[in-house]
Amino acid sequence: MKTEDWLKNNTFHHSVFWDLLKLVKEKEKQKLTISLCIPTLNEEKTIGKEIILFKSELMHRYPLLDEIAVIDSGSRDRTCETAASYGADVYLANEILPELGDRKGKGENLWKAIYQLKGDIIVYIDADIKNIHPRFVYGLVAPLLYNQKTQYVKAFYDRPLAFSQGVRPSGGGRVTEILIRPLFSLFMPELTAIVQPLSGEYAVRREVLEALSFPIGYGVETAHIIDVYNKWGIEAFAQTDLDQRRHRNQETRDLGKMSFGILQIFFQRLQTLGMISEISQIAPVLHQFQAQDKAYERISYTIKEEERPPMIEVPAYRKLRGLDK
Amino acid sequence: MMPDKDEILSSLPAYRDAIKELREPLLANLVMVSEIPAPTFQEAERVRFLQDRFIESGLQNISTDEVGNAVGILPGKEGADRNIIVHANVDTPHPKEADHTVNVDPDCLVGLSTGFNSLGLATLITLPMLLEHLGLELQSNLVLLGTVRSIGRGDLAGLRFFLDNTTLPILAGVPVEGMQLGSQSYRAIGMVRGEITCHVPEEYNWNRFGAAGAINALNEVINAINAIPLPSRPRVSIVFGSIEGGTPFARVATDAALRLDIRSESGGLADWVRQRVRDICAEVSAITGAEVTVDFFARRQPGGIQFSDYLARWGREILEALGIEPRVAPSFSSISAFSDRDIPALRLAITRGETLKNNKERLEIAPMFSGLAQLLGVLLAIDAGYRDED
């Protein structure tokens, strides 16, 4: 499929899916269940609104969702309390598959959600979205319901960054534009058509999710894109414009850490795919510098992108889903 | 069969408990309404949202009128002869580009115009679901009305238009606002609202005695207004709402503006003060050479029902049955539009809250259930027709 054709046929605006009644009927016709997973870590300011809107609009008013779950990494604020008070199922990541240990990272929560949640489709939505709206879910689910070939639907936005003097009209996705798209351009040009490969909102069929390995840190979205692309091709993807997404802006220093984790995953995938020859041992230590008075100080962070295996290979999961019968 | 008075009052605590089960739909409606900007004269997007909700609730006669109001009717058992208007303002004083994001905490919501008046609108669109949930069916039709052009220069144009043009016989009006729960209004205060502007032209003679710019001229106006002798009865007050003018330091201001309300229990007295303000502006203009103009763009006549009227009495008793101390507050808004047309009206507020320094409003969630039970009580009382017995 040509990139232009893919862009034309697989890129949507959420407004084309406005008819929620039709969407619910389609879901019922296909006898599918849909779970929403919200990975959290200290998100008390935004989690309440997300739960209220999704529960009211997409469970009660239009029963598109069968389950709303928060998978928490050990919040120290009132995230879990707030989510539970508004009716979400709240799970602590370290209590899911405890025999496999506990890793810290968003990818860990996403991976464990596959075990914990019941849906045939899982929708992942970040918890830090200030202007949350039901479109964040139905805009991602609809391409899966209307096209059986679609496996993985990504969100994209006109991302404003919050500033003290109001909201700047656009300009987010710095890591995408500085790191990811140049890398895709070099190695996998078809993937450059995915407008925001790092967006934290996507909907995926269970068969696909359970076959993917999960980096537990910053590289999870990048790994997914590459792995789905190599296994199912570009036609497995769709993307939906969800208009604006207001969220906390990250410091450049934090984006450096994110890029460091993503680069590790990217190099590892290139090696696996034979696209680059073996590179010598990579030290998983990121060095950043800060000035203090007239001296410069080096700060080093160890960021090692560990990966969880495909869930389909986990015996407890196979048992839970009855896959060995 | 109509419920008797004691039956209505004694049911209210149970209604309040049952309403809690609809917390999420109510809050979702509140969040979604609040996050749609609706400055006066630009309310179309909010009106569309209201209409969508009316459609989803199965209301009848869903429409917008010439000025852009949203209306839908929940039919009662008796049909067209008995109609109760439940009304809330659609517009807000905040510009489109302001941050309308709402934050939801376990016990409160914070956002622009959540209290005034998104909660009123959320109440309007949740009401059909609420009645259904409680198994309540009224004899009267409920006319759910979201009115545009209400505040500032809108001057209640939407509500006035609807009341002037509807052919429905109206039993009573129930304007619903966000806060403060416990306050009820049934009488309108006479009000004249205007804006005074001072402009110093480019060719201004700065050598003229007393020449000091637009802010000084406006200050002269304010001093003179404050010196107007006002009687203690009937009561009258002049409220300076906002003031703006000038640019940075060290530059003489060429423009300044003051927005004010003249409020009075007597329409004639408000008019007298208005004329005095006009005279003052003309006088300061002549003395300072600045162009001082005044534009009175909104006017409301005093009126409404009496303290002893059935509706006012019911309002107090309903609050007391819910354990809330009633506070009677004069209305500066929609009550006058109803009273001008001899329609009894009782303004209710749904919850407690406060306006924060950043202009956002913080609304408490828990009192909302009492506020909604109060609304149900008032609707049942009007529907039961106790006025006829008075």
Question: Across residues A84-100, what is the average pLDDT?
Answer: 95
Per-residue pLDDT tens digits for B43-88 = 999 999 999 999 999 999 999 999 999 999 999 997 768 999 999 9
Mean pLDDT over A252-260 rounds to 89
Fold of domain B190-300: Alpha-Beta Plaits (3.30.70)
The pLDDT score that the predictor gives to residue B204 is 61
Which residue of A38, A47, A52 to mutate against B (max B Cβ within 10 Å)? Answer: A52
What pLDDT shows up at residue B202?
A: 63
- Predicted confidence (pLDDT) per residue in A122-150, tens digit: 999 999 888 899 999 999 999 999 999 99
β-strand partners of B92: B39
CA-CA-CA-CA torsion for A230, A156, A186, A274, nearest 10 degrees?
-20
Out of A86, A133, A246, name the one closest to residue B24 (CB): A86
Contact residues on chain B for A57, CB-CB shorter than 8 A: 28
Percent of chain A past pLDDT 70, that is, above it, reads 95
Cβ pair B101:A131 closer than 8 A? yes
Number of H helices, E strands in chain A: 12, 14
Classify burial at A251, counting beta carbons within 10 Å of its beta carbon; exposed 0-12, middle 13-18, buried 19 or more. Answer: exposed
Q: Is the pLDDT of residue A167 over 60?
A: no
> Which residue in the block uniquely carries the two structure tokens 């016990």?
B107
CA-based nearest distance A211→chain B, Å:
36
Q: What is the pLDDT of residue A270?
A: 93
The Cα of B79 is separated from the nearest Cα of chain A by a number of Å equal to 28
Residues of A in contact with B365 (CB under 8 A): none
Asked if residue B48 lies in contact with residue B101, where contact means CB atoms within 8 angstroms, the answer is no
Specify whether the backbone of B155 is left (phi greater than 0), alpha (psi in -120 to 50) or beta: left
User: A14 CA to chain B: closest CA distance, Å?
Assistant: 16
CA distance A47 to A79: 7
Pull the structure tokens for residue B47. Answer: 């009106």
Cβ A172 vs Cβ A166: under 8 Å: no
User: In which residue ranges of chain B is pLDDT below 70?
Assistant: 1-2, 80, 202-211, 386-390
Cβ-defined contact of A81 to B106 (cutoff 8 Å)? yes
pLDDT above 50 (res A172): no
What was the pLDDT predicted at A160?
Answer: 47
B30-39 residue pLDDT tens = 999 999 999 9
Measure the CA–CA gap between B49 and B29, rounded to whole angstroms.
10
* DSSP string of B107-137, one letter each residue: SEEEETTIIIIIHHHHHHHHHHHHHHHHT--
- What is the spatial distance between Cα A236 and Cα A234, in angstroms, rounded to a whole number? 5
Residue B25 with chain A: CB contacts under 8 Å: 56, 60-61
Q: pLDDT band for A170, please (50, 70, 90 cuts).
A: very low
Residues of A in CB contact (< 8 Å) with B are 44-46, 48-49, 52-53, 55-57, 60-61, 78, 81-82, 85-87, 130-131, 133, 166-167, 246
Q: How many residues does chain A have?
A: 325
Predicted pLDDT of residue B213 = 85
pLDDT confidence of residue A277? 83
Q: Which residue of A has its CA nearest to B57?
A: A61
Peptide bond into B180 cis (omega under 30): yes
Q: What is the arithmetic mean of pLDDT over A76-84?
A: 93
Quick one: fold of A3-320?
Spore Coat Polysaccharide Biosynthesis Protein SpsA; Chain A (3.90.550)
For residues A209-237, average pLDDT: 95
Residues of A in contact with B104 (CB under 8 A): 48-49, 52, 86
For residue B105, which amino acid is it? Answer: D
Taking one residue from A and the other from B, the number of pairs with CB-CB distance under 8 angstroms is 53
Q: Do B106 and A53 touch (CB under 8 A)?
A: no
**Which CATH number is B5-188+302-389 given?**
3.40.630.10
What is d(CA B90, CA B46) in angstroms, rounded to the nearest whole number?
7
Considering only alpha carbons, which residue of chain A is nearest residue B22?
A: A56
Candidates A52, A133, A246; nearest CB to B104: A52
Beta carbons of A177 and A255 less than 8 angstroms apart: no
Cβ separation of A52 and B31 shorter than 8 Å?
yes
Tell me which DSSP letter residue B156 carries.
T
Of the candidates A55, A78, A130, the beta carbon closest to that of B106 is on A78
Instruction: Indicate the range of A126-135, A162-171, A306-315, B174-183 predicted with least confidence.
Output: A162-171
Mean pLDDT for A162-191 is: 74
**Chain A closest-CA separation from residue B28 CA (Å):** 5
Summarize the confidence of residues A183-188 as an average pLDDT: 94
Interface residues of chain B, partner chain A, Cβ below 8 Å: 24-25, 27-29, 31-32, 35, 56, 97-99, 101-106
Cβ distance of A52 and B27 shorter than 8 Å: yes
Domain ranges of chain B: 5-188+302-389, 190-300
Q: What is the pLDDT of residue A154?
A: 96
- Contacts B103 to A, Cβ<8 Å: 45-46, 48-49, 130
Q: Do B104 and A48 touch (CB under 8 A)?
A: yes
| CA B38 vs CA B91, B113, B118: distances in Å | 5, 10, 10
In chain A, the residue whose alpha carbon lies closest to the alpha carbon of B98 is A166
Contact assessment for residue A147 and residue A194, using Cβ atoms and an 8 Å cutoff: no
pLDDT number for residue B203 = 63
Task: Give the pair of three-digit tokens for residue B337.
Answer: 């539009």
Name, in order, each residue with C-beta under 8 angstroms of B12's C-beta and a sequence gap of 6 or more: B318, B321, B322, B373, B374, B376, B377
Longest dimension (CA), chain B: 81
Distances in Å between the alpha carbon of A263 and those of A217, B11, B89?
12, 65, 53
* Chain A residues with CB-CB distance to B105 below 8 A: 44-45, 48, 82
pLDDT at B205: 61
B101 and A130: CB-CB below 8 Å? yes
Band (A171; pLDDT cuts 50, 70, 90): very low
Chosen from B23, B24, B26, B362 to mutate, greatest number of chain A CBs within 10 A: B24
Selecting from A45, A56, A167 the residue whose C-beta is nearest the C-beta of B25 gives: A56
Domain limits, chain A: 3-320
**Identity of the residue in B28, B98, B101 whose CB atom sits nearest the CB atom of A52:** B28
Look at B24 and A60 and tell me if their CB atoms are within 8 Å. yes
Chain B CB contacts of A246 under 8 Å are 101
Residue A180 to residue A164: CA distance in whole angstroms: 29
Contacts of B106 in chain A (CB under 8 A): 48, 78, 81-82, 85-86
By C-alpha distance, the chain A residue nearest B101 is A131
Q: Retrieve residue A28's tokens.
A: 């019922």
Q: How far apart are CA B36 and CA B272, in angstroms?
A: 40
pLDDT in tens, A13-35: 999 999 999 999 999 999 999 99
B117 prior amide bond cis, ω within 30: yes
Q: Please tell me the distance from the alpha carbon of residue B312 to that of residue B331, in angstroms, as a whole number.
A: 13
